[in-house]
């Protein structure tokens, strides 16, 4: 698969089979996360690999977008390590760093035949309490991953016209 084919192949998987993910595939997805660029190369990302049944159940009880995935990566960044910008007051790049990390992970998962779904609909406070995540880590995204047992939703193929998005200046 070339890059464009890989990007087109990825979709938000919202239903997973019970098949566990091989450790080599988890390692490969984590390696892709480490290759992501971060502002000033500060590498503030924190990645929690949630795969115990107990913790996944706790996540599912507190977030409706876990979708029965066998592994949930909880992605955040260390506020003590994050790079700061000058674009506006109190500017920091943590969410941007994590979004790029998450993209690397989703694309690697796709290459390995796994499904994933970037999830932002959760209470940071509740997820922090469930997993006992320290206060210096901002929890940014959840990434359920597993072998999908359903295809993409209709939204996957809805694209705005590029003329609405791209502007040559």
Ligand X SMILES: Cc1cc2nc3c(=O)[nH]c(=O)nc-3n(C[C@H](O)[C@H](O)[C@H](O)COP(=O)(O)O)c2cc1C
Residue ranges that bind ligand X, judged by CB under 6 A: 11-12, 14, 65, 117-121, 152-153, 155-156
d(CA 167, CA 169) in angstroms, rounded, equals 6
69 in Cβ contact with 49 (< 8 Å): no
CB of 117 to ligand X, least distance (A): 5
CB of 44 to ligand X, least distance (A): 18
108 in Cβ contact with 32 (< 8 Å): yes
Give 22 or 123: the residue with its C-beta nearer to ligand X. Answer: 123
Give 6 or 22: the residue with its C-beta nearer to ligand X. Answer: 6
Cα 104–Cα 110–Cα 111 angle in degrees, nearest 5: 90
CB of 92 to ligand X, least distance (A): 17
Give 58 or 75: the residue with its C-beta nearer to ligand X. Answer: 75
59 in Cβ contact with 127 (< 8 Å): yes
């Amino acid at each position: 698969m070339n890059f464009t084919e890989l990007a087109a192949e990825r979709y938000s998987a919202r239903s997973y089979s019970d098949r566990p993910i091989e450790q080599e595939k988890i390692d490969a997805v984590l390696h892709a996360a480490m290759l992501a660029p971060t502002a000033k190369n500060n590498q503030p990302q924190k990645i929690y690999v949630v795969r115990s049944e107990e913790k996944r159940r706790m996540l599912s009880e507190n977030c409706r977008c876990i979708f029965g995935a066998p592994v949930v990566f909880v992605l955040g960044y260390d506020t003590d390590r994050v790079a700061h910008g000058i674009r506006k007051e109190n500017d920091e790049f943590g969410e941007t760093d994590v979004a790029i990390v998450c993209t690397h992970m989703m694309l690697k998962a796709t290459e390995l035949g796994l499904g994933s779904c970037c999830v932002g609909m959760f209470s940071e406070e509740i997820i922090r309490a469930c997993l006992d995540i320290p206060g210096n880590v901002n929890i940014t995204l959840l990434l359920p991953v597993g072998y999908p047992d359903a295809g993409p939703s209709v939204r996957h193929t809805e694209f705005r016209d590029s003329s609405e998005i791209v502007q040559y200046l």
